[in-house]
């Protein structure tokens, strides 16, 4: 699946409620998902992690990023291409 296809899938399924919630409320959902991802990563570091649960949390975080991009009318694939492909990506360390 291409990034644009994923973003469109999220738009088709959730845009109506996402746009009503707005960016601030949607960002709060993203931060909650980041917390769940952090918890799964911590479990992984402790040796008690579930790889499937970790993978699903990564998917959730990506879905919420796509959601916010949709509400802000940002084409993620175009932005990623512009910054990381055409622009060569950030210089130095991240």
Alpha-carbon span 58 to 6, nearest angstrom = 14
For 26, the 3-state DSSP assignment is helix
Closest CA to 17 of 26, 8, 9: 26
pTM of the model: 0.89
Question: Which band of pLDDT confidence, cut at 50, 70 and 90, is reported for residue 94?
Answer: low
Domain ranges of the chain: 1-15+31-72
pLDDT at 63: 98
Question: Which band of pLDDT confidence, cut at 50, 70 and 90, is reported for residue 91?
Answer: confident
Contacting residues for 35 by C-beta, under 8 A, at least 6 apart? none
Alpha-carbon span 70 to 47, nearest angstrom = 36
């Amino acid at each position: 699946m291409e990034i644009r296809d994923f973003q469109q899938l999220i738009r088709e399924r959730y845009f109506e409620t996402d746009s009503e919630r707005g960016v601030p409320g949607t960002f709060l959902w993203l931060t909650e998902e980041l917390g769940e991802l952090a918890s799964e990563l911590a479990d992984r570091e402790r040796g008690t992690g579930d790889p499937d649960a970790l993978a699903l949390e990564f998917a959730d975080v990506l879905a919420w990023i796509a959601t916010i991009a949709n509400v802000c009318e940002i084409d993620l694939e175009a932005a990623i291409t512009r910054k990381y492909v055409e622009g060569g990506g950030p210089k130095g360390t991240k």
